[in-house]
């Protein structure tokens, strides 16, 4: 779905910071951890991940260092910086507010009244919402 790809693209920096909060990782490991934590719903492709890593490093939110394990190719391992930790906290608060607001709109507000819409009148609706009784 194109919408999911755009949502992931816009939130990749926050996801990277969240993963690096727990431990330093190289790019491939960051992508796999995002996939693991999301139950394989979020798939980070190189074209999205590496530009995000470069921007985060340029902005001082992560630091990268080339590491060479014996017999392996060198890999750039990223660590979250103190500025990155602060940014992650701010981004998490912003995300919580945003997600809550979206959920409130989808749920129809907090007044308990749900107005009839053409889709609901046709028997459609949103997941988790009661469907109208057939006439």
pLDDT at 72: 85
pLDDT at 29: 96
Which residues does 62 contact at the CB level (< 8 Å), separation at least 6? Answer: 16, 17, 20, 53, 56, 78, 79, 80, 81, 84
Inform me whether the pLDDT recorded for 24 exceeds 60.
yes
pLDDT at 45: 86
Tokens of 43: 């798939």
How high is the mean pLDDT of the chain?
84
pLDDT at 44: 86
pTM of the model: 0.75
Q: How many residues belong to the chain?
A: 135
Give the model's confidence band at 129: pLDDT under 50 very low, under 70 low, under 90 confident, else very high: low
CATH topology (fold) of 2-121: Arc Repressor Mutant, subunit A (1.10.10)
Give the model's confidence band at 10: pLDDT under 50 very low, under 70 low, under 90 confident, else very high: confident
DSSP 134: P
Q: What is the pLDDT of residues 43-88, one digit of tens each?
A: 888 888 999 999 999 999 999 999 998 888 999 999 999 999 999 9
Q: At 67, is the secondary structure helix, strand, or coil?
A: strand
Domain coordinates in residue numbering, the chain: 2-121
Q: Are the C-beta atoms of 44 and 30 separated by less than 8 Å? A: yes
Taking phi over 0 as left and psi of -120 to 50 as alpha, with beta for the rest, 68 belongs to beta
Inform me whether the pLDDT recorded for 132 exceeds 80.
no
- What CA–CA distance (Å, rounded) separates 88 from 67? 25
Overall average pLDDT of the 83-110 stretch: 92
């Amino acid at each position: 779905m194109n919408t999911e790809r755009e949502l992931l693209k816009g939130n990749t920096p926050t996801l990277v910071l969240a993963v690096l909060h727990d431990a330093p990782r190289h790019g491939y490991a960051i992508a796999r951890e995002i996939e693991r934590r999301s139950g394989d719903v979020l798939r980070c492709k190189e074209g999205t991940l590496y530009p995000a890593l470069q921007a985060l490093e340029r902005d001082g939110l992560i630091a990268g260092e080339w590491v060479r394990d014996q017999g392996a190719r060198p890999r750039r391992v990223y660590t979250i910086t103190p500025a990155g930790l602060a940014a992650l906290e701010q981004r998490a608060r912003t995300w919580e507010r945003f997600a809550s607001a979206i959920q409130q709109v989808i749920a129809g507000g907090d007044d308990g009244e749900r107005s009839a819409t053409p889709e609901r009148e046709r028997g459609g609706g949103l997941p988790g919402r009661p469907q109208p009784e057939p006439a």
